[in-house]
Structure 1
């Protein structure tokens, strides 16, 4: 289990600042971040205090992160929450996505903490705010409540309850010819309707002034569609039986290689991730030998399990030249994010297998939630596309992508990126 950062020195610092009964203080900033780097387990809980003094106080230790001059202690960071005598408050940055876990179902978790710790938890009015305020009658009750919330956050982050919010990707959808191939791949399986070019006549009944007449109208003004010949497995009923539907296909405009999955649940972690990616640019360039990197996409394969009960269908990736530069660059990226404490331990210990996913049963949109269908039959798809040559493509950048949010091109929103070497072939 993760241990909480002790705040004994901070409490000692506060006591030294209180020189008389007339002095009051407040807790000003609390940030809870679970640091998971694969080797160390430490929950970073930074409590920063700002005494509010009515009289001059002597200087305090620099290690406490504050100093007192002209009757006030200067803050080191965060937002100050001023409290009256005998009442204290703390601002806790938890991240908007975690608010619901602190509240609990119908507010039960919040009420339990408030009753047991003797505090009041105030949530922000805006869904975009990351901070909550905890108010209480003593420093001890605030500390205990903050520790309880930090434990809740840690448990949630490590569980599937909180989904990954961001990931480091190598975009492939920047290549229009590849996107077109993926669109055709989907259409050939789903058998989309197509317009007919031939000129035909359609009988239309026109009714005016209680008189009905029949006229012939050419299809130049009316779009007529017909279904192309379907393979025996491609009828709608059979597709359903096979577990194949449009929602399990990856959107062509989001096509990519995944380097690393991340849970960045507050602004601090997101800003840290941005800084990490930008800071390792020279190291990534060294790993690539400052030369352009091309990959080949060929074939179709199943991620774990059998083709008859597939969960993920993907296109294997080959580095042109097979020099290992791509994996070296990915390792530089992964190691940096692990060192920064932004990677879950289970993810840090996994070996990287680069692949380009084309179908994923996890993305299925179920109309009837009672019917669980987490696999699909990919045998016929593999027969047709198992040896498909999708082409060779340049990797142009590494991208810190935000899941579930898209830019104008249809690709994931870019939070930060670093370029790879430009295009030229030996």
Structure 2
């Protein structure tokens, strides 16, 4: 079944099959394939790399963010030396902190292609381990929503403060209330610019046609938790109910797919979970911490002290935070804030100018 359904790895918009090979049984065969004649493309992916033929052989340049250089170089340069030896290539990497191209040169085309593929896989695997730097968000920090949120916080502390793990430090900053569409790891200015351009492209390609130039109305009512045990909650969130059919969900899902295809976002779920975090145990130790990465949402952590939310769920099951019109999507920076206290933005699109985002209404 592993042969019929191999593991798939997505790198830069391309999809590769990961094949388990028994090195001892096929070592000689692999080496012969690997260093075949320059015209042989047996080791080359379907979507070929840009390989330049030179007087001395072949050359390939690739853009890798500087924070990932150290993983390609390895301890005392061991990873880079191993790559060069096994692919019979020379790999030139810019100095630490210097943004530039990694250049691979070699006498055999397949060797250069393989070195590039291996570097791509290395960079992608370590990129996945980096904390996210940006996220696509829709702000919910309108004055009326903040007022209802503060009422929710006050009543929870008044009625549930004796429950295990409940404290004022668990609550989101009212100025940072938002819906998350997805998280991104953007490691240099070029990647930030790429995300900005893609955000604008989403507006042109499908957002404007879906919204028809009108704001989207949602109702924020009710609460739910991420994990399976209401007595040990890490993340409690407010539920989102759309008033315009499935338009907001469609926009969020299509944006996620577009950013995943571009390689800027990892796909964790089939659909975007539209929610607004109101309590998070990550805030307990660091009030400035952001909403946890989708990759670890709902998973227990030894460093986190969960809280008993059974009473909260019973008393505030249908708590209404208000109804609001939405007209913007932000590319937000994870830790920075602007003058209003909301996340500083690296990019923004507006699909309607008629939304009065400062005046949400009470739920019916």
Fold equivalence (TM over 0.5): yes
Residue in 2 that maps onto 1:378: 309
Return 5+ residue gaps in structure 2 as ranges. 1-6, 18-44, 287-300
The size of the alignment, in residue pairs, is: 306
Select the structure with the greater relative contact order (CA < 8 A; seq sep ≥ 6).
2
Q: 1:135 to 1:291 in 2, by over 3 A?
A: closer
Match of 1:302 in 2: 225
Pick one of 140, 157, 165 that aligns with 1:172. Answer: 140
Distance 1:185 1:104, change over 3 A: farther
After TM superposition, the runs of 4+ consecutive aligned structure 1 residues lying more than 6 A away are 42-45, 86-90
Deviation at 1:306, TM superposition (A): 2.6
Cα deviation for residue 300 of structure 1 reads 1.5
> By how many angstroms is 1:110 displaced?
4.3
Preserved contact between residue 52 and residue 59 of structure 2 (Cα < 8 Å): no
Query: Quick one: which of 305, 318, 330 aligns to 1:387?
Result: 318
Structure 1's 108 and 289: CA in aligned 2 closer, same or farther, altered over 3 A? same
Deviations 1:355-391 (A, max 9, x none): 111123355538xxx9543632112333443332111
Structure 1, unaligned runs of 5 or more: 5-32, 54-85, 191-229
Match among 136, 150, 153 for residue 120 of structure 2? 150
Q: Determine the structure 2 residue equivalent to 1:131.
A: 100
Residue in 2 that maps onto 1:329: 251
Say if 2:138 and 2:180, in contact at 8 Å, map to a contact too: yes
TM-score, with structure 2 as normaliser? 0.67
Q: Write out aligned runs for 1:194-343 (5 A).
A: 234=161, 242-245=164-167, 248-282=170-204, 283-320=206-243, 322-343=244-265
The whole-number CA distance in structure 1 between the counterparts of 2:175 and 2:76 is 39
Whether contact under 8 Å (2:333, 2:343) holds in the other structure is yes
| Residue aligned with 2:231, SS | helix
Partner of 1:405: 336
Contact 1:164 1:261 in 2 (8 A): yes
Q: CA deviation at 1:100?
A: 3.9
* 2:40 matched residue in structure 1: none
- Kept after mapping to 1: 8 A contact 2:49/2:113: no
* Contact persistence 2:282–2:304 (CA under 8 A): no
Q: How does 1:101-116 map to 2 (within 5 A)?
A: 101-104=71-74, 108-110=78-80, 112-113=82-83
Question: TM-score under structure 1 normalisation?
Answer: 0.58
- Asked whether 1:34 is paired with 2:12, we answer yes
